[in-house]
Amino acid sequence: MIVPRRSGCWTAESAALAWELNLTPAQRLAEENLINGIGTDGVDALVLRGDAGFGKTTILERIQRAAGGVLLGMEQFADVLAERQPGAIEEAFRDLIEYALGSHDLAIVDDLHLITEVAESCSYPRANLLNAVLRRFSLEHASEGRSCSLRSTMTYRGP
């Protein structure tokens, strides 16, 4: 298993810059709601949606900086998937989140929609299986006292 990391465009410097950026009122509200929702009892999923270029990754970087944990993206998912058969999308996603939560209390997944678009396409042989994995994972972690947050971004909170 490859250690989850965020490299390339995400660095400590870019996270610091994201923290210093002035957010729009809508972005600030989204950030506040997600941060407040992460620790809320009974909340098993939080979703942040928006069009490309509306600052979702910046918001998630700020949340990660404020709440801790690890920010996962498509680079980490692709690394885990590369160790499996190309059709093992669900297993790769599950393993990535479980591995991240083994060493962090919080896992934030950016660009989840890129995974779900493939898994929900008509040419994917195991359509809707990713939804089953997401549902099982949410219920399992909720029963363990963990909370999850999703978006085209998803955040899982460890014990």
| pLDDT score of 137 | 64
In a domain, 7, yes or no: no
Q: How far apart are the first and last CA of the chain?
A: 22
Which alpha helices (H) appear in 1-155, and where do they start and end? 12-20, 25-38, 56-67, 74-82, 89-103, 112-119, 129-143
Give the position of tokens 């971004």: 153
In a domain, 86, yes or no: yes
Residue 134 in this model has a pLDDT that exceeds 80: no
- Indicate which CATH number applies to the domain containing 109: 3.40.50
**Between these two residues, 95 and 120, which has the higher pLDDT value?**
95
| pLDDT score of 114 | 86
> What's the average model confidence in pLDDT over 85-104?
87
Per the prediction, the chain carries an average pLDDT of 75
Full residue range of the structural domain in which residue 35 is found: 12-157
In a domain, 133, yes or no: yes
- pLDDT range class, residue 13, cuts 50, 70, 90: low
> What's the average model confidence in pLDDT over 7-25?
62
In a domain, 5, yes or no: no
Count of structural domains within the chain? 1
In a domain, 88, yes or no: yes
